[in-house]
Amino acid sequence: MRRTFKFLLRPTTKQAVALAACLEEHRRLYNAALEHRRTAYRKAGVTVRYGDQSAELKHIRADDPDGQARWSFSSQQATLRRLDKAFRAFFDRVKAGRSPGFPRFKGRFDTVEWPKDGDGCRWDSQPHHPAATFVRLQGVGHVRVHRHRLVLGTVKTISVKWEGSRWFVVLSCDDVPAGALPTTGAVVGIDMGVAWLVTTSDGDHIENQRHLAASADRLTVAQRDLAHKKRGSGRRRKAVAGLAALHAKVRRQRFDRAHKAALALVRGYDVIVCEDLRIAGMTRSASGTLDAPGRNVAQKSGLNRSILDAGWGVFLTILSHKAESAGRKLIAVNPAGTSRTCARCGHCAKENRTTQAEFWCTACGHEAHADVNAAINILRAGLALQDAQAA
């Protein structure tokens, strides 16, 4: 099993400057490689690929001994692969007929990856220090790590990530043993929502804490303060850092809530059935065009904001990882019609859903909480799918 471990770095002032320089040089390399591809195709119709740009790295490093040559060759190759991946995703979107979104120049870089432990980096680089853990990074040195838990498996890749005013190291590890939990014999279906983050088929609710809405006033003040600062000034940089710190706090709160909610489900049930949601499509703007403007744009915009604030995608991703690690089974089913179908008689009609929270079947008169009714239908669909796959 492959897992990632994320730890806070505690660099010295000199090391923090070196880490920032590392990010900046990799950003410059990414942008230069992107400009190379654009220019070659625009002027000569030539498609430049990763192999071509990787072969030029040796010459780039030789021409810039105080800049690009300071950093790991492998980490620079990883940055070029990152650009190549962006182009492949662009062409895949073009072939699929979706809005392509051509790769753009980076105004800032927040992550650098070393693709192999021991090649320009080394985890636990000073094992003779029993009270502290260090990671060695080429051009930076031995950086102290706040290791708050045990690292399992074999470290394969090492990444450094900058979030606001903090530095983190992210380890991707192979051969991580699964910590299977004891069986409970229980199964559950879950319905995602905005009023409640999760409603189970057993009738339990997990609260949606609306972290973004709770911080909206402070974010508004910070954004207004930023708008009044002169570009390039020290005060603007400080305002940008303050706004980024507020968004980072909201993100950490959302992740913390998702981890706790997913852990509670994984501990309590052997089989968990969830909705196979297409969140990107559900949160697409309804504004339309000048010729064909959308309808109820303000209401749709508010719903999109609420869905993204609830963090459905974050929760379902974490739930998937925790279920795999604990030896639980997670089944995703098509949610179409689950909110309108009666869990007692199977009658499906739009009129069954009288309000957002109330369900009343027009055929048999069954009354229930609308989300609980949907969760029961989701559970039945998942169990039916499981039986069909086993047959």
Are 168 and 202 members of one domain?
no
Which residues, at least 6 apart from 64, have a Cβ–Cβ distance to it below 8 Å?
none
CA distance 15 to 195: 46
Average pLDDT over residues 225-250: 91
Average pLDDT value for the chain: 91
Domain final residue pick, 149, 174, 199: 174
Whether residue 364 is contained in a domain is answered as: yes
DSSP 359: E
Are 15 and 164 members of one domain?
yes
Confidence class for position 297, pLDDT limits 50, 70, 90: low
Are 235 and 377 members of one domain?
yes
Are 283 and 367 members of one domain?
yes
Q: What region, left, alpha or beta, does residue 376 occupy, with left being phi > 0 and alpha being psi -120 to 50 degrees?
A: alpha
Q: What is the DSSP string of 117-147?
A: TTSSEEET--TT-TT-EEEEETTTEEEEEE-
pLDDT tens for 25-80 read 999 999 999 999 999 999 999 999 999 999 999 999 999 998 999 999 999 999 99
The predicted pLDDT at position 179 comes to: 80
CA distance 37 to 80: 11
- Look up the CATH number of the domain holding residue 277: 3.30.420
Average pLDDT over residues 315-329: 93
Handedness of CA 168, 169, 174, 175 (dihedral sign): negative
Lowest mean pLDDT across 81-90, 144-153, 177-186: 177-186
Q: Residue 166: enclosing H or E segment and its boundaries?
A: strand 166-174
Are 164 and 302 members of one domain?
no
Which residues, at least 6 apart from 276, have a Cβ–Cβ distance to it below 8 Å?
332, 333, 334, 335
* Helix (H/G/I), strand (E/B), else coil: 54: helix
The answer to whether residues 148 and 233 touch, using CB atoms and an 8 Å cutoff, is no
Average pLDDT over residues 343-360: 90
Domain final residue pick, 174, 195, 210: 174
The predicted pLDDT at position 293 comes to: 64
- Between the two ends of the chain, the Cα-to-Cα distance in Å is 28
The predicted pLDDT at position 80 comes to: 97
Q: How many domains does the chain have?
A: 2
Are 151 and 193 members of one domain?
no
- Name the residue with tokens 């000073």: 126
pLDDT > 90: percent of the chain: 74
The answer to whether residues 377 and 189 touch, using CB atoms and an 8 Å cutoff, is yes
Are 212 and 284 members of one domain?
yes
List the beta bridge partners of residue 122. 136
Whether residue 181 is contained in a domain is answered as: no
Whether residue 210 is contained in a domain is answered as: yes
pLDDT > 70: percent of the chain: 96
Q: What region, left, alpha or beta, does residue 361 occupy, with left being phi > 0 and alpha being psi -120 to 50 degrees?
A: beta
Whether residue 139 is contained in a domain is answered as: yes
Which residues, at least 6 apart from 139, have a Cβ–Cβ distance to it below 8 Å?
18, 21, 22, 70, 71, 72
- Residue type for 367, please? E
The predicted pLDDT at position 130 comes to: 77
Tally Cβ neighbours within 10 Å of residue 287: 11
pTM summary value: 0.82
Domain final residue pick, 128, 144, 174: 174
- Residue type for 29, please? L
Are 135 and 227 members of one domain?
no
Whether residue 182 is contained in a domain is answered as: no
Whether residue 109 is contained in a domain is answered as: yes
* Helix (H/G/I), strand (E/B), else coil: 234: helix
User: How far does Cα 152 stand from its chain's mean position?
Assistant: 22
List the beta bridge partners of residue 3. 173
The answer to whether residues 374 and 339 touch, using CB atoms and an 8 Å cutoff, is yes
Are 164 and 310 members of one domain?
no
Strand pairing class (133-137; 141-146):
antiparallel
Are 263 and 353 members of one domain?
yes
DSSP 352: G
Which two structure tokens, joined as six digits, stand for 348? 């499906």
Whether residue 229 is contained in a domain is answered as: yes
Are 202 and 135 members of one domain?
no
pLDDT tens for 153-207 read 999 999 999 987 899 999 999 998 888 899 999 999 999 998 899 999 999 999 9
* Helix (H/G/I), strand (E/B), else coil: 275: strand
The predicted pLDDT at position 52 comes to: 95
CA distance 204 to 350: 25
Whether residue 179 is contained in a domain is answered as: no
Are 250 and 167 members of one domain?
no
CA distance 297 to 97: 24
The residue ranges of DSSP E strands in the chain, in sequence order, are 3-10, 111-114, 121-123, 133-137, 141-146, 154-163, 166-174, 187-192, 196-200, 205-207, 271-275, 329-333, 358-360, 367-369
Lowest mean pLDDT across 165-169, 248-252, 302-306: 302-306
Q: Which domain holds residue 349?
A: 187-390
The predicted pLDDT at position 128 comes to: 85
Pick the closest to residue 142 from 152, 131, 127 (CA basis): 127
* Helix (H/G/I), strand (E/B), else coil: 16: helix
